[in-house]
Amino acid sequence: MQVSLSAVKGRTKMELDPRTKLFAMIVVSMIMITGDIRGIGFYIGIGIALIPFVLLLISGNLSKAIIYGILITFSSFMEIMVMNVSGIANIIFLFLSGMISRFLPGVFMGYYLVSSTTVGEFITAMKKMRISDKIVIPFTVMFRFIPTIVDENKSIGMAMKMRGIGIGGNRKNLIELVEYRLIPVIMATVRVGNELSAAALTKGLETNQKRTSICKIGFHFSDLIVFGYVMAGAVLFAFNQMNGF
Amino acid sequence: MNGKTNKLKVKDLIVTGAFAALYVVLLLVVVSFLGFIPITYILVPFLVPIILGPVYMMYTMKVPKFGAIIILSAIVGLITSMGGVWYALLWSLIIGTIAEFIARMGNYKSQKMYVASFSVFACTIIGPFLMAIFAKSVFLQSCAKYYGQGYANKLDALTPPWIIFVFIGMSLVGGFVGANFGKKLLRKHFDKAGIR
């Protein structure tokens, strides 16, 4: 599973500008988290929740789209079913399904953003928005790096299990447990960080000249459609919030 | 190490990104791990900084320059404000700036100042809890509207306004312990290996 800004372009049917994706992600997560789930708000919610599904489908990520569709349908159904009930178990249940149905669209939009954008495109788009290097570079590296850390952590976990260090192992000292997991990860971070720095030097990131890029970043017709749809959702949402239906 | 210039270079920014990734992943993993059990969930502001302390100490050791801590706080703030609590970003930036200036007072060399700096920085973890004081009534109202009064009342009883000060106190202590833990660990493992 590749959950990072990819280095190579995959097969995509529809090209979207990273800025459109970013905008859509922010709007989707804001509406889903703060939105109403009754009355007209419910239909707006459905319309907005469809966005990640359709985008994932179009970008050729069928399995993720289906997983998302099933999870979101199930959790929002649950949320509506158990609404307005009391009792501890129900409250916990409600809290969980509410959390899932509210956060999931934002999470999957984020997944769509990073899985369908290359590093070069992302940087170029950020540069066009005149965002400082001091924000762009750490962010790009971070998104690129998170899967590496998860990977390293898995391997370290296995290595430690082999030596009997773990929750079920024969070393029960909690501080040692943390130490033997944490230090290798920090080591790996330092090492990979240095390697990335060297790679960046070769790519000439350090020069103070304007960067050129072979990525063609610009707004197309498909951007207009997505932007229009998201905007319509946002306007309806704002209207609905103000009137209180 | 190029300690000559105090400005952030591209190389430093990349290291910042790498450490920010580590920080964020650990933050999310530890919080979701502890979040399963209600008792440890309350202890999150205390326990999480202890795990993150070594990361922070190593990070500040690798990038001892002005701005590094603020950038980290901005990233942590963006992550913690993902839940729709926009105060969290502002809170993180304020905390990060204070932590930055504390580290600066030690000229980016003093270990004691870094320990103090992380004690403050650890407070970024309570960003999402800030809702409990600033927007409580609005939040409870919307909860009552969506989920019924019973849910809102339970939530109200669970979060008295003074709890935020308990959280701040916990994260200050947690940060202090974590930073010292980190200092010890780094001395043990990294000084020997010559990575500094």
Q: List chain B domain ranges.
A: 10-193
Residues A13-57: pLDDT tens digits? 567 888 898 889 888 888 887 766 666 777 888 888 889 999 988
pTM confidence score: 0.79
Tell me how far apart the alpha carbons of residues B105 and B16 are, in angstroms, rounded to a whole number: 21
Q: What percent of chain A has pLDDT over 90?
A: 4
Interchain proximity B18–A193, CB inside 8 Å: yes
Q: Are A60 and A12 in contact (CB under 8 A)?
A: yes
**In this structure, how many other beta carbons lie within 10 angstroms of the beta carbon of residue B41?**
12
Q: Does some domain include residue A6?
A: no
Instruction: Measure CB to CB from residue B25 to each of A91, A98, A146 and give the nearest one.
Output: A146
Tell me how far apart the alpha carbons of residues A29 and A75 are, in angstroms, rounded to a whole number: 16
| pLDDT recorded at residue B39 | 66
Let me know whether A105 and A138 are in one domain: no
Average pLDDT over residues A70-84: 76
Q: Does some domain include residue A212?
A: no
Q: Which residues of A touch B51 (CB under 8 A)?
A: 178, 182
Range of the domain at A176: 130-202
| pLDDT recorded at residue A66 | 92
Let me know whether A62 and A97 are in one domain: yes
Residues B104-132: pLDDT tens digits? 888 888 888 889 999 999 888 887 777 65
Q: Does some domain include residue A229?
A: yes
Interchain proximity B22–A185, CB inside 8 Å: yes
Instruction: Measure CB to CB from residue A86 to each of B13, B82, B148 and give the nearest one.
Output: B148
ipTM of the complex: 0.76
Q: Are A48 and A32 in contact (CB under 8 A)?
A: yes
Q: Does some domain include residue A209?
A: no
Residues A151-203: pLDDT tens digits? 888 888 888 888 777 666 565 677 777 888 888 888 888 888 888 888 888 87
Which has the higher per-residue pLDDT, B152 or B56?
B56
**How much helix, strand and coil, in percent to the nearest 5, is found in chain A?**
70, 0, 25
Least confident residue range of A151-160, B8-17, B65-74, B136-145? B136-145
Let me know whether A74 and A195 are in one domain: no
| pLDDT recorded at residue A245 | 45
| pLDDT recorded at residue B70 | 92
Let me know whether A112 and A222 are in one domain: yes
